[in-house]
Amino acid sequence: SQTIHQWPATLVQPVGSPLSLECTVEGTSNPNLYWYRQAAGRGLQLLFYSVGIGQISSEVPQNLSASRPQDRQFILSSKKLLLSDSGFYLCAWSRQGHTGELFFGEGSRLTVL
Amino acid sequence: ILNVEQSPQSLHVQEGDSTNFTCSFPSSNFYALHWYRWETAKSPEALFVMTLNGDEKKKGRISATLNTKEGYSYLYIKGSQPEDSATYLCAFTGSARQLTFGSGTQLTVLP
């Protein structure tokens, strides 16, 4: 069966510090991978998606970046965090060529102070 | 920018009550409509994926309908139980094949 894990689960970082959130998927190959963010009181906002290694599409301009160094690994990064980067980040995957049903990771709560 | 609206934003019902909430989405370039349940301290989980106008899906006490021509979907819960308490998210997929989420309906079922 397929599993998805992301870490760390919680993170408290000062403004201006770097960020790295990791996500890995097991039990499937060539998945679509996604990073979503839920800001306080709002829905899920798509940040990045990837259809293959090294292929990253950005949906929202910001100081975050994403990378996919391996087929089942997706990393969300920032060189310098802003206060507005605080939120709940979810990694997700979907099968290629299907209706796009998403399978989510456990989430990462980021607080920028 | 795609507009996916959910109402109400939050809802409190008594155990045993039936309830429903709404998701509205663009009626053009429709590909699929998803419903997810997001329980506290867990990951969102898919309830339904609907692709055809007039689709009705059911899973236990939960069901959903779809009207793509007018751009809305209803989620119904019959005989609500405390374990149904969660945030229910709908998500629209258009021709770009990316999901756009609504802000969710937070349901609390009181025992």
pLDDT, tens digit, 9 for 90 and up, residues A10-28: 999 999 999 999 999 999 9
Residue in A43, A100, A104 closest to B43 by CB: A104
Report d(CA B23, CA B91) in Å as an integer.
9
pLDDT on residue B92: 92
Looking at residue B82, the DSSP 8-state letter turns out to be G
Question: Who contacts A3 (Cβ-Cβ below 8 Å, separation ≥6)?
Answer: A25, A26, A27
Question: Who contacts B101 (Cβ-Cβ below 8 Å, separation ≥6)?
Answer: A36, A43, A44, A45, B4, B89, B90, B91
Could you tell me if B10 and B33 are in contact, meaning their C-beta atoms sit under 8 angstroms apart? no
Radius of gyration of chain B (CA): 13
> Using one digit for the tens of pLDDT, what is the confidence trace for B19-38?
999 999 998 888 999 999 99
pLDDT on residue A104: 96
Cβ within 8 Å, pair A43-B103: yes
Please enumerate residues of B whose Cβ is less than 8 A from a Cβ of A: 4, 6, 31-32, 34, 36, 42-46, 49, 51, 89, 91, 93, 97-104
Chain A residues 30-89 with a CB less than 8 Å from chain B: 36, 41-46, 49, 59
Q: Strand runs (DSSP E) across chain B, as ranges? A: 5-7, 10-14, 19-24, 30-38, 45-50, 56-59, 62-67, 72-77, 86-94, 99-101, 105-110
Residue of B nearest to A107 (CA): B43
> Using one digit for the tens of pLDDT, what is the confidence trace for B41-59?
899 999 999 999 999 999 9
Closest CA to A111 of A80, A78, A89, A85: A85
Residue predicted with more confidence, B66 or A98: B66
> Using one digit for the tens of pLDDT, what is the confidence trace for A25-81?
999 999 999 999 987 667 888 999 999 999 998 887 678 999 999 999 999 999 999
Residue in B49, B51, B89 closest to A43 by CB: B89
